[in-house]
Amino acid sequence: MKRFFLSLIVLGLSLLFFAACDPLDGKRAVTAQQMKEFKKEVTIKQVKEADLLALAGQKAKLFLTESGLAAAPNPLCGENKSPLLDSARFLYIEKVVFWCNKTTPDQAAAMDEKEKLIFEAYQQAQDFTQLKENGDNLQKINQAETILFTAPKGTTAFEGMWSVHINRKKLVREL
């Protein structure tokens, strides 16, 4: 009796296997080309954290420069500039905001906690010239899923801060 049920289970599994593979008509569920594309997409990449952060900083600066935002004389305070991200070259950028000295409490509520701390540190900096030269900052936020790039703006005194949110996974895929 035991052998009968065991044989029945083996026969059922065999039928299930052949039905799934569909060997009789020669059709495959996935073509060889689709399999090659899939393998290319799931290639494991080993990326060092320092390299990723450096790349994030370069890409954020590149975006601010090429979009003209870095040179904008009076960017609107607290306004999300993400609609400017129509280029396929900047798919990894999630959000771009300029926070100015006149940021209201309602606007500040939209900031990430680390973003607020950096903004306050920029505001309290004594030497703006040194801050302008060395003030760019990179932080991991949202359980390290997002890289935050911040850069102070101003000519002789602190006027505000550019804040660029970069999706970590999308940036890794760019490599």
pLDDT tens digit string along 47-105? Answer: 788 888 999 999 999 888 888 888 877 777 777 776 555 667 788 888 888 888 887 77
pLDDT digits (tens, 9 = 90+) for 89-113: 788 888 888 888 887 778 888 888 8
Residue with tokens 């996974």: 169
Spans of all domains in the chain: 2-41, 49-174
Per-residue confidence band for 166, with pLDDT thresholds at 50, 70 and 90: very high
Q: Helix (H, G, I), strand (E, B), or coil: what is residue 46? A: coil
> 3-7, 40-44, 97-101 — which is least confidently predicted?
3-7
Is pTM, for the whole model, over 0.85?
Answer: no
Q: Are 160 and 102 a contacting pair, CB within 8 Å?
A: no
CA distances from 127 to 30, 114, 117, 161 (A): 62, 22, 18, 16
Mean pLDDT, range 130-157, rounded to an integer: 86
- For Cα atoms 122, 123, 125, give the angle at the middle one, nearest 5 degrees: 65
What is the dotted CATH code of the domain comprising 49-174? 3.30.450
Residue 132, CA atoms < 13 Å, CB-side half-sphere: 12
